[in-house]
Amino acid sequence: MAITELPKNYDAASAEKDIYRRWEESGYFNPDNLPRQDGDPFTIMMPPPNVTGVLHAGHAMFLTIQDIFIRHARMQGKRTLWLPGTDHAAIATQAKVEKEISKKEKKSRHDLGREELLRRVNEFALASQSTILSQMRAMGSSCDWSRLAYTLDETRSRAVNEAFKRLHGLGLIYRGHRIVNWDPKGQTTISDDEIVYQEEKTTFYYFRYGPFVIGTARPETKFGDKYVVVHPDDPRYAQYAHGQKLTVEWINGPIEATVIKDNAIDMEFGTGAMTITPWHSTADFDIAERHGLDKEQIIDERGKLLDIAGEFTGMKIAEARPKIVEKLRAKGLVVKEEEYVHQIATAERTGGIVEPQIKLQWFIAVNQPFTLEQSAIPGIASGQEITLKQLMQHVVRDGHIRIVPDRFANNYFHWIDNLRDWCISRQIWFGHRVPVWYRGDELAAGDEPSGDGWTQDPDTLDTWFSSGLWTFSTLGWPDETPDLRTFHPTDVMETAYEILFFWVARMILMTGALLGDVPFRTVYLHGLVRDEKRAKLSKSKSDSADPLDLIGQYGTDALRMALIFNTSPGTDSILSNEKIKGMKHFANKLWNIARYVLANVPSMDSGAGTPDPATDADRAILAKLDETVGAMSEDLEAFRIHEAAQRVYQFAWHEFADIYLEASKSQLDDIATAGSTRNILAYCLDRMLRLLHPFMPFVTEELWGRIHGTDDPAKLLMVQSWPAASR
RNA sequence: GCGCCCUUAGCUCAGUGGUAGAGCACUGCAUUCACAUUGCAGGUGUCGCAGGUUCAAAUCCUGCAGGGCGCACCA
């Protein structure tokens, strides 16, 4: 090959589109089409991005890391499946579309009706999805588009209904009146994990309550408080007996109060006495449950006071609070006021201040023993009784699932320790409808029953319910498909550490309960990508770097390398233009290495073995190459992709180009060494292209094609073998 | 309150028992010869502080200081 055929510089933009097309047309993204069918399967389920948005740096990060794992496995001869998909992201998507409709048409979802809103949301979701999919391609993602899944498509809906039915049958899903997190803004319940705590400065009031002084930051909930709770060992209140009744003057006149003694009281806090509002506080609810106390609703679903508030009925909390305090002050019941800082619960998606409410909802019971009929998990026998909590703890504690970096296992266990039953029903319209039908006293779960008079539950399921099934719903479950047999459990779950609880833990829960297995062997967690000002990169910030712009400016390979270079798993990283630029230079360096080698080596044989060295420089570079191959392979097996990337970078630029390539110039002039030098140049280039391919797939494939031709798909670099170290 | 992490060259960060590393930035020199998206040569550092273990500690242990995060929470 003559040098004139290779331009002086690598032009990423002109190479990338054509190369992706060749990869896609080769069919090799689909494991069924790979040249070798005898390898072990290797599977990654892509974390499905929300259909709400466009690609941001976080997506670029996971697409890069997963593609590295996938391309490496494919070159190792494994039957490699990377299954892509998108998530309907129920609350997030509906909220976005509702907001748009409200802004443009001044209409609410109730003006449109359920059917019309869903039509609009689905329309938006589809359009958004196609954008995201094209952006994934731009990142070079070698995923199997023929198996593309969507959490709300027909196959996944079947899986959801079947999962609900089975869990219900096992007694793990129940319906009950329990205290839940109510988002007055989104008009729906949310799970504990969808809460974000925010610091709030407020006033802490001390009120006279008969002979007691009680403290509160929420006077507006106090109307119904007819129980005063103290610690059984508190000497200050020893004179009052549990169950003793007293008449006390309160907000709207005298009421009968009952003394309750309970260990949950912190004697050190406030006065050591408090009144409870079981309808609007989890802790109070638990106390009321223990003693069989009455519960009464004070605040409605829109955050307004109910009839019990008397003259304050219908007022919003913010309006009522100062007025209530004023009235108590006038009655001489305010003892003192303090500045107070506490954390208030807000809804992650809407920002609404969460109001606990007792509601009839669907839950997954995490402490309920059930019989796991079929278990493939070591240490758990088929037919064994176990709780979901125990199951989730077991698989990680006993190493059946490995978390990388392992320090996140602590977070995982801590989360499980604090885990309460998971509220899975939502009062929004977009999502999987709760698959339950009612008729009279009858209830049918899972499939729509035949016959008249059945009505379906109006609620939808938490989006993480369907996401939790992802590793096997994507493979056709509940059918016993060949895919399910071959590719499950998956090998690696690669995602951001932010969603360890939201998603990773839920997959472990669902897979354990429904398949008696683990969803994956390894969880690899990456950190957040921040910009140079340390702000978290997200789609909501228009000024932050758009991956597509960066690709246009520097090339996909440069962006990929910059994302993972010098970045350790689980640690947040900063993506700077300087770093990407440096990696663009590296791509160009590789290009020119190839340009030099091709100019000096008449033919390249990719099947040639290790060439014989003739000089010290020959021996040194071959030894270094061998060392690099061995160390990189170990790094990749151990998920140290940042180390592997640095090694190959170091070898290509500073060992091969700076040292050997310079030495080769005089060696090529000497007839005694010219032959072996050519062989070594060719050999090193061949190995470097292979080693770099998972990291920089485009430039390596482009060069490979220039060397070996582009006529035969079987000659694509993506399906060539990963180099083996000689020792 | 419980738990986790970070503190290394000007900046951003790797490294986690055996004489300190990368990228970018910086200084000087070179340059028709693969590449200026370059090369060579250079400062680049009490590896947060104080103890301890060890023949040997940036690396392990203890304490302290500063920064960040997760979970929970007291009305």
On the CB side of A481, CA atoms within 13 Å amount to 14
Give the nucleotide at minimum CA-to-C1' distance from A193.
B71
Model ipTM value: 0.94
Q: Is the bond preceding residue A489 a cis peptide, omega within 30 degrees?
A: yes
* Cα A551 from Cα A383, distance rounded (Å): 53
Per-residue pLDDT at A538: 45
Q: How many CB atoms lie within 10 A of CB A443?
A: 14
CA angle in degrees (0–180, nearest 5) for A516-A520-A523: 135
Q: How far, in Å, CA of A209 to CA of A226, rounded?
A: 10
Which nucleotides of strand B come closer than 7 angstroms to any CB of the protein?
Answer: 2-5, 12-15, 21-25, 34-40, 70-75
Q: In the structure, how far is the CA atom of residue A532 from the C1' atom of nucleotide B12, in angstroms?
A: 9
CA closest to B68 C1', residue? A572
pLDDT computed for residue A536 by the predictor = 54
Tokens of A576: 């700077």
Residue nearest to nucleotide B72 (CA to C1'): A418
Instruction: Give the CA A553 to C1' B37 distance in Å.
Output: 13
Check residue A544 and give its pLDDT.
Answer: 54
d(CA A575, CA A563): 7
Using C1' positions and the CA of A264, the closest nucleotide is B74
**Whole-number Å distance, CA A150 to C1' B33?**
57
Judged by C1' against the alpha carbon of A214, the nearest nucleotide is: B75
The residue with tokens 């758009």 is: A546
DSSP class per residue in A99-133: HHHHHHH---HHHH-HHHHHHHHHHHHHHHHHHHH
Query: What span, in angstroms and rounded, lies between the C-alpha atoms of A383 and A371?
Result: 6
pLDDT for A266? 85
Rounded Cα–Cα distance for residues A386 and A336 (Å): 51
pLDDT given at position A540: 42
Q: A665 CA to B33 C1', in Å?
A: 10
Burial class for A493, CB neighbours closer than 10 Å (0-12, 13-18, 19+): buried
Q: What does the pLDDT read at residue A541?
A: 43
Local mean pLDDT, 10-residue blocks, chain A (727 residues): 71 94 97 94 96 86 97 97 93 87 90 91 88 93 97 95 97 95 92 87 91 92 90 91 93 92 86 92 90 93 92 92 94 90 87 92 95 96 96 94 92 91 93 95 92 94 95 97 97 94 94 97 93 55 70 95 94 91 95 94 77 93 94 93 95 94 93 93 96 97 94 95 85
**Per CA to C1' distance, which residue is closest to B12?**
A574
**Between the CA of A55 and the C1' of B69, what is the distance in angstroms?**
25
Q: How many CB atoms lie within 10 A of CB A317?
A: 18
How far apart, in whole angstroms, are the C-alpha atoms of residue A229 and residue A293?
Answer: 12
Q: Which residue has the closest alpha carbon to B35 C1'?
A: A592
Nucleotide in closest CA–C1' contact with A500: B70
Tell me the CA distances in angstroms from A553 to A196, A209, A558, one per residue in order: 37, 69, 10
Q: How far is the CA of A641 from the C1' of B63 (A)?
A: 36
User: Cα dihedral angle (A32, A35, A37, A41), rounded to 10 degrees?
Assistant: -70
Is the separation of the CB atoms in A562 and A579 below 8 Å? yes
Alpha helices in A601-696 (DSSP H): 616-637, 641-649, 661-669, 674-692
Give the closest nucleotide to A649 (alpha carbon vs C1'): B22
The CB density around residue A201, as the number of other CB atoms within 10 Å, is: 8
Inter-residue contact A693 to A75 (CB < 8 Å): yes
Structure confidence at residue A300 (pLDDT):
94
Rounded CA gap, A385 and A527, in Å?
Answer: 37
Q: What pLDDT was estimated at residue A263?
A: 87
Q: Which helix (H) or strand (E) holds A196?
A: strand A195-209
Determine the pLDDT at residue A4: 47
Counting Cα atoms < 13 Å in the Cβ hemisphere of A281 gives: 18
- A393-415 burial by CB neighbour count: b if 16+ within 10 A, else e? bbbbeeebbebbeeebbeebeee
Q: Computed from CA positions of residues A384, A389, A391, A393, in that sequence, does the dihedral angle turn out positive or negative?
A: negative
Measure the CA dihedral A136/A138/A142/A143, to 10°: 20
For residues A314 and A128, give the distance between their C-alpha atoms in angstroms, rounded to a whole number.
41
- Judged by C1' against the alpha carbon of A218, the nearest nucleotide is B75
Instruction: Dig out the tokens for A672 from the structure.
Output: 């005694």
What is the CB neighbour count within 10 angstroms for residue A505? 22
| Segments in A194-240 forming alpha helices (H) | none
What span, in angstroms and rounded, lies between the C-alpha atoms of A131 and A86?
11
CA-atom Rg of chain A in angstroms:
31
CA–CA gap between residue A182 and residue A353 (Å, rounded): 9
Residue with nearest Cα to nucleotide B13 C1': A566
CA-to-C1' distance for A654 and B43, Å? 22
| A287-301 CB burial, b ≥16 within 10 A, e <16 | bbeeeebebbbbbee
Q: How many whole angstroms separate alpha carbon A219 and alpha carbon A462?
A: 32
Closest nucleotide to A659 by C1' from CA: B39
Crossing angle of the two packed helices A697-708 and A577-600, in degrees rounded to 10: 10
